[in-house]
Amino acid sequence: MDVFSEEKPDNFVYVTQIIPNIKQDIRYFGNNNFVGRPITGYKKPVCILTSAATQALLKVQTALNKQNLGLLVYDCYRPQMAVDDFIQWSQNADKKTKNLFYPHIDKKNLFQLGYIARRSGHTRGSTVDLTLVDLASNQVLDMGTPFDYLDPLSHPDNRDITREQFKNRMLLRSLMIKSGFMPIKTEWWHFTLKNEPYKNTYFNFFVE
């Protein structure tokens, strides 16, 4: 049974406290996202996750740093109010971001096709959206699509991309799985901790 909570548990942490060199580009705090504006619930551009998810992410970062690579997080814990904001957006006529983020899909179908969820793993605090960065150049690795490109081309196993792009996806995927995360079929950037501590609890405190 789903449980909803407005309280932030003690075992939710700011990821930079555990992984100081992780890079952050919290997209739903600003305008560079599929909605095209800041999302309800994001008061600061910070990554908050459960302690368990953060410790698992530290393993990934440590392995990557040995290859002069690192992690860049786009979204971490996401309050239910943000998910509700997505739902309301999906039902209105605003299509200003369609060409950039969902060119081949009708926005009202984004939920049934699995790109957005009414109950998001992000809201349980152990799901993260992320990519890889080359630490020498400070450039994001080419994954074949941008983050939040809601399209079959973003499916991790889609081969309609270059060999290098696919290799980058598989590097991220293999390290995340090795450290205890599970991927999904629709988005190369999305992972949930397999043994997440709050499997049925959806939180609604602000990201601040």
Among candidate residues 6, 7, 164, 187, the one labeled active-site is 187
* Phi and psi angles of residue 90, each rounded to the nearest 5 degrees, phi first: -65, -20
Residue with tokens 């630490």: 135
CA 73, 8, 125, 56: dihedral to nearest 10 degrees?
70
How far is Cα 73 from Cα 67, in angstroms, rounded to an integer? 18
Q: How far apart are the first and last CA of the chain?
A: 28
Other beta carbons within 10 Å of 174: 12
Residue 187 bears catalytic tag? yes
Q: What is d(CA 59, CA 164) in angstroms, rounded to the nearest whole number?
A: 24
Q: What is the DSSP pairing of strand 69-75 with strand 23-24?
A: parallel
Instruction: Tell me the CB-side half-sphere exposure of residue 11, using CA atoms within 13 A.
Output: 11
Distance, CA of 90 to CA of 7 (rounded, Å): 27
User: Which residues are catalytically annotated?
Assistant: 187
